[in-house]
């Protein structure tokens, strides 16, 4: 599975298999659990000797000797295909971003975290201006290329802690954990400038309008996104290519 021989791994740390996408939090939780004398179960993304990624379902238990932990044993199962199918189910096929179902789930998770720990959380809704005209004048293939390029631009500009998904059609939802309304507006402005300054091959320059909202005490997912949607509507009414 790993491509390594026993000789290759002798004396090496487990991190030789660690994939860069695997977060520190997973390993922190793993070792904290084991050191408490409890078994740990979870999914880990690793890579082979040839740097090909694979997923394992791992069950790791501490080994005791006279009440002391002297080691651990691990039962691992390769679940690469299963994990791949689950990943594909979360992704929008055109843009490669999270699909609506997944970004909605993430929104609810961030809302729960924000309300539990009293931390700020903001969202940005983006709508491409006059997108119907692109499809009508240049065809749906060109329209699709615009959405894909916009997705690439936004993924470059947002922070690693942010999440972005296709909300529907030419609309996108961006989640900004631990971010105030003011900081979220700054990010939206950064995205607006990034998009409006890019020249597309067929249609030239294109803009989008932005709506920003920060979570309030009793917010639900509908009320939070509803306020962002109203802010987006104001941006459209004021002439488009704006942040509100």
- Interatomic CA distance for residues 160 and 156, integer angstroms: 9
Residues designated as active site: 170
Q: Which residue's entry shows tokens 């104001």?
A: 234
Q: Do the bridges between strand 40-47 and strand 204-205 make them parallel or antiparallel, or are there none, so unpaired? A: unpaired
Phi, psi (rounded to 5 degrees) for 37: 80, 20
- Interatomic CA distance for residues 128 and 149, integer angstroms: 12
Helix ranges (H only) for 10-130 are: 24-35, 80-90, 100-117
């Amino acid at each position: 599975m790993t491509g390594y021989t026993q000789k290759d791994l002798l004396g090496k740390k487990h991190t030789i298999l660690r994939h860069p996408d695997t977060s520190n939090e997973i390993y922190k939780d793993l070792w904290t659990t084991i050191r408490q004398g409890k078994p740990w179960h979870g999914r880990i993304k690793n890579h082979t000797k040839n740097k090909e990624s694979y997923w394992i379902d791992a069950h790791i238990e501490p080994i005791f000797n006279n009440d002391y932990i002297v080691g651990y044993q691990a039962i691992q199962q390769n679940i690469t295909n299963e994990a791949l199918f689950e990943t594909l189910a979360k992704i929008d096929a055109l843009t490669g971003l999270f699909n609506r179902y997944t970004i909605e789930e993430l929104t609810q998770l961030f809302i729960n975290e924000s309300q539990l720990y009293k931390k700020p959380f903001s969202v940005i809704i983006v709508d491409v201006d006059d997108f119907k005209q692109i499809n009508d004048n240049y065809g749906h293939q060109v329209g699709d290329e615009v959405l894909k390029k916009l997705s690439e631009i936004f993924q470059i500009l947002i922070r690693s802690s942010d999440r972005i998904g296709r909300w529907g059609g030419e609309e996108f939802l961006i989640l900004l954990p631990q971010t105030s309304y003011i900081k979220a507006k700054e990010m939206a402005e950064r995205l607006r400038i990034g998009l409006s300054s890019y020249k597309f091959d067929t249609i030239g320059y294109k803009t989008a309008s932005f709506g920003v909202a920060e979570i309030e005490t009793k917010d639900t997912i509908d009320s939070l996104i509803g306020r962002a949607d109203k802010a987006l509507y104001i941006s459209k009414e004021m002439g488009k290519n704006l942040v509100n």
